[in-house]
């Protein structure tokens, strides 16, 4: 009896793969819930009164969360995919953290409606991405 590669990998998922799945699911949920706060108008509006659990959002910001969430759900299944997702998080949110620190008080440049809480979460997401990308792998050749 032959076992498919997906089945063999399912029994040997690495901790960083599960972390990629959880982060992807959370970002997808946040993206969906963000639209309950913002609706679909004011695509790049800068309004810190539009918050989800203290994090400022706008429709563009929600779409970014949806894309990040979907990427996590698509890539977590394999070790290589999870590592790729980790690097995407680390680089993407690393750059977003720098951007957010620069534009947090500049309404004209702040297209994602980033506030201080967002900056903290983006830094944490950068670190989580690094954890996924660099987590030691006990399996040979992974």
Residues in the chain, total: 142
pLDDT values of the chain reduced to their tens digit, one per residue, 142 residues:
444 444 445 568 999 999 999 999 999 999 999 999 999 999 999 888 999 999 999 999 999 999 999 999 999 999 999 999 999 999 999 999 999 999 988 989 999 999 999 999 999 999 999 999 999 987 655 5
Contacts 24+ apart (CB under 8 A), 5-10: 6/77, 9/77, 9/78, 9/79
- The alpha carbon of residue 76 and the mean position of all alpha carbons in its chain are separated, in whole angstroms, by 12
Contact 112, 60 (CB under 8 A): yes
**Phi, psi (5° rounding) for residue 55?**
-95, 125
């Amino acid at each position: 009896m032959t076992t498919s590669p997906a089945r063999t990998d399912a029994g040997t998922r690495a901790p960083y793969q599960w972390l990629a799945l959880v982060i992807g699911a959370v970002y997808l949920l946040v993206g969906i819930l963000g639209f309950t706060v913002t609706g679909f108008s004011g695509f790049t509006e800068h309004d810190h009164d539009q918050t989800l659990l203290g994090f400022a959002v706008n429709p563009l910001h929600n779409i970014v969360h949806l894309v990040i969430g979907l990427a996590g759900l698509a890539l977590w299944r394999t070790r290589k995919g999870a590592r790729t997702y980790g690097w995407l998080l680390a680089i993407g949110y690393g750059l977003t953290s720098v951007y957010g620190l620069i534009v947090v008080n500049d309404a004209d440049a702040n297209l994602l409606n980033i506030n201080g809480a967002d900056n903290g979460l983006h830094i944490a997401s950068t670190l989580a991405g690094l954890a996924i990308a660099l987590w030691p792998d006990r399996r040979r050749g992974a």
